[in-house]
Amino acid sequence: MSTTLNHLIQGIPSLGSYAQVMAEMETVLSEPHSTLADLGNVIEKDPDLTARLLKLGNSSFFGFHSRLETVAEAVSVIGIQQVQDLLLVSSVVELFDGIGADLADMESFWKHSLACGIGARCLAIARQMPKAEKFFVAGLLHDLGRLVLFSRAPNQVVEIFRLYQSRRMLLREAEVCILGFDHALIGETLMRSWQYPANLVSAVACHHHPMAAGVYQLESSIVHLADYLVHAMQMGRSGERFVPPLNQKAWERVGLATNILESVIRSIDEQIEIVQEAFLRVPDKAALGHSTTCAQQAT
């Protein structure tokens, strides 16, 4: 089993074409006398990244009322960590750019993932978690393992969906039947190989079983709840046709009142469009096509 799992993730780079920008940012950040303007100069070398950063900084996602004109201003508002998150997420989007339209509707897949990121961030803020922004990345990457499957094991994906269509079952159960493991384990393994922080890895690894996340139960529970909400809203598609089971203990672990859910759903609805614009490249219309995907056939 582990050979197949390792084979699946072998050689997947963590940052793609963004590695250069990230490395230059690290260099600037490590210099004691560097300024936000220096950081801005590094980012401005990438016009696409610059445009998206300004768009995000000026959006309702951050809720600031004065107009941001420069990258340095945007970094000061968004925060250095969030700029790095933007790079990280952009690199993952780029990394899995070529997935065939016959396997998955990627626009819909990313919509689901982004909505989960927004939902996880909102829940973390409501829970007054430190570094709540990190939950956006955790939510966004929760189904990373499915991207690996789509890009590295298309034949098995066809088999998985064939089984999934044949009876009432969850998609991850079909994954286990065909592969011996599910997308959560693939995502966990890949993120470990990228040396991502343990709390982020656990949140992705245990988003279906948050109580198994040991010291990171709370982080995993938040992503689990966000995933549940976004499935219920039918905001995009990850391939799963059902709203997956809710782990009641996860809800109790997070400890919020049920009346918070309304504002989380509203925030997802309000922010999804701007976040899609900021984080996703313009979809390749030719690649999107109009053919029916495996995921759509499952419905």
In the complex, least distance from residue 287 CB atom to another protein, rounded to whole angstroms: 28
Q: Read off the amino acid at residue 224.
A: H
In the complex, least distance from residue 82 CB atom to another protein, rounded to whole angstroms: 10
The tokens of 276 are what?
Answer: 């899609």
> Which of 35, 266, 291, 297 is close enough to bind another protein by CB under 8 A?
266
> Which of 9, 144, 229, 280 is close enough to bind another protein by CB under 8 A?
229
CB 22 within 8 A of CB 84: yes
The tokens of 75 are what?
Answer: 């970094």
136 touching another protein, by CB under 8 A: no
| Nearer to another protein (CB atom), residue 29 or residue 243 | 243
CB 83 within 8 A of CB 206: no
> Which of 29, 163, 246, 274 is close enough to bind another protein by CB under 8 A?
246
60 touching another protein, by CB under 8 A: yes
| Nearer to another protein (CB atom), residue 5 or residue 129 | 129
CB 280 within 8 A of CB 93: yes
| Nearer to another protein (CB atom), residue 48 or residue 252 | 252
264 touching another protein, by CB under 8 A: yes
Phi, psi of 37 (to 5 degrees): -65, -40
166 touching another protein, by CB under 8 A: no
- Using CB under 8 A as the binding criterion, the count of chain residues that bind another protein stands at 37
Give the C-alpha separation, 150 to 155, whole Å: 9
55 touching another protein, by CB under 8 A: no
DSSP annotation of 244 reads P
Give the C-alpha separation, 115 to 273, whole Å: 10
260 touching another protein, by CB under 8 A: yes
CB 221 within 8 A of CB 254: yes
Cβ-proximal residues to 155 (8 Å cutoff; 6+ apart), any chain = none
> Which of 6, 20, 98, 242 is close enough to bind another protein by CB under 8 A?
242
68 touching another protein, by CB under 8 A: no
In the complex, least distance from residue 108 CB atom to another protein, rounded to whole angstroms: 15
66 touching another protein, by CB under 8 A: no
The tokens of 263 are what?
Answer: 């504002």
User: Which residues between 85 and 124 bind another protein (CB under 8 A)?
Assistant: 121-122, 124
Q: Degrees (nearest 5) of the Cα angle 249, 237, 169? A: 60
177 touching another protein, by CB under 8 A: no
Residue 159 neighbours by CB distance under 10 Å: 17
> Which of 24, 62, 84, 101 is close enough to bind another protein by CB under 8 A?
62
CB 95 within 8 A of CB 18: no
228 touching another protein, by CB under 8 A: yes
Residue 27 neighbours by CB distance under 10 Å: 12
Which residues are near another protein by CB under 8 A?
60, 62-63, 65, 121-122, 124-126, 128, 132, 170, 228-229, 232-234, 241-246, 248, 251, 258-267, 269-270
